[in-house]
Amino acid sequence: MNPYFKISFPANPSWFKTIRNLVLTATKDVGFSDQDASQVSLAIDEALCNIYRHGYKGNADGVIEFEFNSKADPKPMVQMTILDEGEKVPLDAIQSRDLDELRPGGLGVHLITTIMDEATWSHSDNGMRLDVVKQKQD
């Protein structure tokens, strides 16, 4: 089974649980362990929260487009794209904060780049784009 789906939804945190569950189920269906699928789901949730918080400045009227693609053979892999129409952020500003700095927040980018094998932010026509890839490790 190679799950694929594309969905547009409001940039409202009440939707994020639904997207987490979709990612969790589809990632497990392609052959990832429960733990790895949970981590992928967490990384996507962090990305969505960052879009809501930074791209849309807490305004739930924005729209997020999410695309999930996968393959099971020869090695399980998931690839996801998230598009928003929020504020364009300078690409060099998207980075993890110093982990030695003791304060809340600012760990979303670190979490995403640590969990995913690839994470690439870019500007889209109307906002931001995030492409992520995760392959199952042997």
Q: What does the pLDDT look like over 32-75, one tens digit per residue? A: 999 999 999 999 999 999 999 999 999 999 999 999 999 988 89
> Could you give the residue ranges of the DSSP H alpha helices within the chain?
13-29, 34-50, 108-115
How many other C-beta atoms can be found within 10 angstroms of the C-beta atom of residue 132? Answer: 22
74 vs 82 pLDDT, higher one: 82
Q: What does the pLDDT look like over 103-118, one tens digit per residue? A: 445 578 889 999 999 9
Which tokens sit at 89? Answer: 């952020």
* The pTM of the whole model exceeds 0.75: yes
Residue ranges and CATH numbers for the domains of the chain are 5-135 (3.30.565.10)
Is the pLDDT at 102 greater than 70? The verdict is: no
Is the pLDDT at 28 greater than 80? The verdict is: yes
Amino acid 99: pLDDT:
55
